[in-house]
């Protein structure tokens, strides 16, 4: 049996859209809505999607570089919302997680080799 390293449940990330002279919130952009995923030790997860669909925002919320609107992210069974943000992202180094922008991937080599070069 493999233990879960990362557990994401119903993650939501909404960003306000402000309008008018007083910059009041008119609506919200749903960068992520209901994202759930589990990653076991030794597994690799890649998030792929079209441009501006929320991939980076979800990655940042999982690493707690930004605060999610809702849902829960646990790393090694500990809810990251309970951890001190001053100590840095709780799973960034332990998960060996990284955000790799599409523009940095060389189309002449495989994705595997591109990601291996960033480690």
Q: Sheet containing 70-75: which strands, arranged edge to edge?
A: 24-40, 4-19, 70-75, 78-79
Please count the other Cβ atoms lying within 10 Å of the Cβ belonging to residue 28. Answer: 14
Task: Give me the pLDDT at residue 70, please.
Answer: 93
**pLDDT confidence of residue 1:** 46
CA–CA dist 4, 117 (Å, integer)? 26
Encode the chain (119 residues) as per-residue pLDDT tens digits.
457 888 999 999 998 889 988 889 888 888 888 999 998 988 888 888 888 888 888 988 888 888 899 999 988 888 888 877 666 555 555 555 666 666 666 778 876 777 676 55
Burial of 45 (0-12, 13-18, 19+ CB in 10 A): middle
DSSP 100: -
> How many domains are contained in the chain?
1
Q: What is the CATH number of the domain that holds 71?
A: 3.40.50.300
Structural domain boundaries, residue 44: 4-19+27-118
């Amino acid at each position: 049996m493999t233990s879960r390293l990362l557990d994401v449940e119903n993650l939501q990330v909404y960003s306000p859209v402000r309008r008018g002279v007083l910059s009041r919130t008119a609506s919200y952009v749903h960068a992520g809505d209901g994202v759930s995923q589990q990653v076991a030790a030794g597994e690799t997860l890649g998030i792929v999607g079209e441009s501006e669909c929320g991939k980076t925002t979800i990655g940042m919320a999982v690493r707690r570089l930004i605060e999610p609107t809702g849902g829960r992210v646990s790393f090694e069974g500990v809810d990251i919302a309970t951890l001190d943000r001053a100590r840095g992202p709780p799973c960034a180094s332990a998960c060996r997680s990284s955000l790799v922008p599409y523009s940095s991937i060389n189309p002449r080599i495989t994705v595997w080799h591109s990601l291996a070069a960033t480690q």
